Amino acid sequence: MFASSHIFDPTAVLRTSSSSSQRRILSSNHVILPLIRPGVLGGQPLRKAGSKQQQDTRSACRVSASASGQPSTYIGSLSSNSLKFGIVAARFNELVTKPLLEGVLEGLERHGTPRETVDVAWVPGSFELPLIAKAMAKSGKYDAVITVGAVVRGATAHFDAVVSGATSGVLNASLDSGVPVIFCVMTTDTMEQALDRAGGKSGNKGFEAAVTAIETANVLKALGQQGLAKARDAW
């Protein structure tokens, strides 16, 4: 799927445009992005020498206007080396949230963001995630914020209150700030289910959240470059 005689730059964005009713990948002088950074596959990033695309793809996202005026499709790069991230982590059930946090940091690192550049704020529980996430998002310092929590059902209805507050609060933080705030909060019936998703048999949802943050931030950046999204400080 990624075979290409051309050199590609993982900091681009794949864009297709429709022509008549057929969508097509743009001509061969456009680049096809790997869904995983070449270094992860052991491959070597190739580079298309000397083309306009190369100048374009040097930015976090490449968008080329469609000559036919047809609608375009934006698919965000999975390269994070031009992005800044913040994380808010809940200490409650830290048996789960600490491996989730590690998964987030590993995911960011494997796509170009050294963990030393990532700010991490700790809060008591998932109910406190939205306040700090919104503060970070509205600071203008971050291209995306990732919230990490683990809400495990107990004997009372408190589970529902915490999940409801955390979910709507994180969503509000994102929509209100115009910054992607990613919801990496386990909401499970048992601790085992939560641990399975924090590096157990179901993988690490923290790593997945990191990839989601990168792609969403890059799409928003591309739309902004096309005047299709307000600049963050105008949100």
Ligand X SMILES: Nc1c(NC[C@H](O)[C@H](O)[C@H](O)CO)[nH]c(=O)[nH]c1=O
**Interface residues toward ligand LTPLIIQW, by CB under 6 A:** 151-152, 154-156, 158-159, 162
Active site residues: 158
Q: Which residue number, 65 or 161, has a Cβ lying nearer to ligand X?
A: 161
The site partner of 156 among ligand X, ligand LTPLIIQW, none (C-beta below 5 to 8 Å per kind) is ligand LTPLIIQW
* Helices vs strands, H then E, count in the chain: 7, 9
Q: Residue 155 binds which one of ligand LTPLIIQW, ligand X, none, with CB within 5 to 8 A depending on kind?
A: ligand LTPLIIQW
Give percent helix, percent strand, percent coil of the chain, each to the nearest 5. Answer: 40, 20, 40
Q: What's the closest the beta carbon of residue 199 comes to ligand LTPLIIQW, in angstroms?
A: 21
Task: State the binding partner of 43 from ligand LTPLIIQW, ligand X, none, CB within 5 to 8 A by kind.
Answer: none
Which of helix, strand or coil describes residue 87? strand
Q: Is 88 a binder of ligand X (CB under 6 A)?
A: no
CA pair distance 140, 179, nearest whole angstrom: 9
The residue type of 187 is: T
Strand ranges across the sheet with 14-19: 22-25, 14-19, 72-75
Question: In the bound complex, what is the minimum distance in angstroms from residue 137's beta carbon to ligand LTPLIIQW?
Answer: 25
Q: Is 93 in the site for ligand X (CB under 6 A)?
A: yes
- Of 1 and 155, CB closest to ligand X: 155
Burial of 69 by CB count in 10 Å (0-12 exposed, 13-18 middle, 19+ buried)? exposed
CA 146 from chain centre, in angstroms, equals 8
Q: For binding to ligand X (CB under 6 A), which residues are involved?
A: 90, 92-93, 124-128, 149-152, 158, 162
